[in-house]
Amino acid sequence: MLRRSMTLVTTLAGAVLLGLAVTSSSLTAQERQVPSSFAQLEYSFAPIVKHVAPAVVNVYAQHIVENQNPFLADPFFRQFFGGIPRRQVERSLGSGVLVDPSGLIVTNFHVIRGASQVKVALSDKREFDADIVLKDERSDLAVLRIKGAHERFPTLEFGDSDKLQVGDVVLAIGDPFGVGQTVTHGIVSALARTQVGTSDYQFFIQTDAPINPGNSGGALVDMSGHLVGINSAIASSSGGSEGIGFAIPANLVRVVVASAEAGSHSVRRPWFGAKLQEVTPDIADSLGLKVPTGALVSSVVADSPAAHAGIKVGDLVVSVDGVTVEDPNAFDYRFATKPLGGTAQIGLMRQGRQMVVPVALQPLPDTPRDEVEIKSSSPFSGATVANLSPALADELRLDPQAAGVVITAVADGSTAQSIGFQPGDIVVSVNSQKIEHSTELERIASSGSRSWRITIRRGNQEISVMFRG
C-alpha cells in the first residue's frame, strides 16, 4: 500500500509540493559537450548514482491533529460517535539529504511542518529518530539531526547553483509516492523561476527530471555528483510529474545549513531595510528604460543598512555585486545568500545616473522579546505574547517597522484559540489602554475584569471586539 506524502497546491497551475566517476570540479561552460557519437550516448549515470544515493534519505514525520467532528461536542451524539478518537495521527513522507557526516540532514519545511516525531531511513534500510534543529518556513527548508549518531555518515558536497545553465543534465533522487529510493534524469529547463508560491524566495531551478510527491527534500545533483538543489515542488494538474519540477538552489540551502551548523535555531540573513516593487512597462516608460527590469525602491526603513547607504525612494536597484537583478525576487535571493559581515555593492539607477553604493551585510536587530504565556482567566488565556523587534517581525512576516506586542503562539483548545486569536496578531489596546510591552498585557489579563474591549492589528486591518466574562 502506497504511503501518502504531503502535497500543497500553489499558485502556478496547481503546483504540488513534493514532499563515482566524479570530476575534481564542476564542469565549466567550455567543458560542456554535446554527445558526438552513439557510443557516448551509451555512457551510464551509474557511477554518479553510486556516489550520491547513500547520502539521500527518506523522512517520515508524524503529528497529532484534533478531530473536528462537531457531534463529539454534544453529549447525546457522543454515545453514538464516542468511539471516534478526539486526536488522530497524521503521517507524511518526504526525502532528505545528508550534508554533514555527523548526521545533519536538510529537507523541506513542509515535510516536517507540525511534526511531533521524525524518523529517517538510510539507503541501507536502517532507521533513526531525528531531531528538528532548525525550521525556516520562509525558504521552505528545515534541518534535522540524527539522534545518538556514533558514526560518520556519507554526505553530498554543495555545488555552485549559480553556475548552472539551461540544458545542463541533472539527476533527481528521492522517494516518490513511497515506493523506495528512485533516480530520474533530465535537464535544467529554466533558471530563476518565480510565481511558484512555495516560499518567500522565488528563485527556483526548473527541471524536467521526473519528480513526484514524496520527492520533497530530495537531491538534485549535477554530473559531478554535487548537490545543486533541493527538490521542492511540481507544476501539475494531476498531482504527478508532468515534466515541470522546481528545486531550491543549493546556494540558498547552504545559508540555512550554515545557520544550523553554527547552533542557531533560526536563519540569520542580511537585512536590506527597503521595500522593493516590480518594474511594470508603465514604470519602465516613466524611467526611460527600454525594457522593464530591476527592482524599484518604494520605501526605506529608518536606521536600516539601506538608509545608511543613502538609498532613496525611487532608486532602481539593478545589480548586487555586479550580478544583474531583473526583479525584486532576484534581488531577495542574491542579497539573502550573501554572508554576514562586510558589504555588498548595490548597483542603482537614480534619475538616469548609474551608481554603486556599499550596503552593510548585517542581520536584523533583535531586542529582548520577554515572551510570556498568558495563563490567567481572560480572552488571552493560552496565548503566548512577545515584544516586537525587527527580527521577530521578519520571522512572523510582519512589517519590520511594526512595534508593540505580538501573539507568537496560541495553544490548542485554549480560550484564545476559541476567540480566534492567531500568531502574528498585534495587540494594539485592551480596555482603552495602549499595549507596548508583554508584561503590561500579562498584568491587564490578570486584572479579573469581566468586560473586555480589545483592538488588534491583523495585516493591514485593525479589528476591535468586545467580550463579557
From the list 140, 175, 222, 394, the catalytic residue is 140
- Supply the DSSP symbol for 164: -
Determine if residue 294 is left, alpha or beta; phi over 0 gives left, psi from -120 to 50 gives alpha, anything else beta. Answer: left
Three-class DSSP category at 284? helix
User: Is 110 annotated as catalytic?
Assistant: yes
Whole-number Cα distances in Å, 467 to 3, 412, 416, 451, 453: 46, 20, 12, 6, 7
CA separation for the pair 232, 234 (Å, rounded):
7
Secondary structure E strands in 101-217? 104-108, 117-121, 127-136, 141-146, 169-174, 182-193, 204-207
From the list 216, 224, 319, 414, the catalytic residue is 216
Helices (H) and strands (E) in the chain, counts: 11, 26
- Residue 220: which of 42, 48, 13 has the closest Cα? 48
- Residue 213: which of 5, 60, 15 has the closest Cα? 5
Report residue 97 as a C-alpha cell. 539529504
Alpha helices by DSSP H, listed for 377-450, are 390-395, 415-419, 438-445
From the list 92, 110, 327, 389, the catalytic residue is 110
Catalytic residue positions, numbered: 110, 140, 216
